[in-house]
Amino acid sequence: SQQGEEDPQALSIQEGENATMNCSYKTSINNLQWYRQNSGRGLVHLILIRSNEREKHSGRLRVTLDTSKKSSSLLITASRAADTASYFCATDPLSNFGNEKLTFGTGTSLTIIP
């Protein structure tokens, strides 16, 4: 079963608005990462947040992590048409010792309407 589940599955907003997507996971983690995927292309790493961090910024991106609720959110501010893509969270479970792998969610499809 998937460790991470993104919410919503799909999101459409006007250009310039902020977009928020959420990720929930089931087991304790070492870190959580967000990736972007343009249609049919490879994933691009956006940001990594470690379990002892609560918030992280990168340009127009802001990621929060609440380990007590086992959830994370990705906020994209002042959205642009180029932000249209699918966004995935990926978790590195704490139980991963000796079995290094990321577990991906099913993604949020974001559409920015010009």
Q: Which residues bind another protein (CB under 8 A)?
A: 2, 30-31, 33, 35, 40-45, 48, 88, 90, 92, 96, 99-107
CB 85 to another protein: min, Å: 13
Residue 58 class from Cβ within 10 Å (0-12 exposed, 13-18 middle, 19+ buried)? exposed
Q: State which residue, 97 or 114, has the beta carbon closest to another protein.
A: 97
- 8 prior amide bond cis, ω within 30: yes
Give the position of tokens 């969610």: 105
Residue 40 or 114: the one with the smaller Cβ distance to another protein is 40
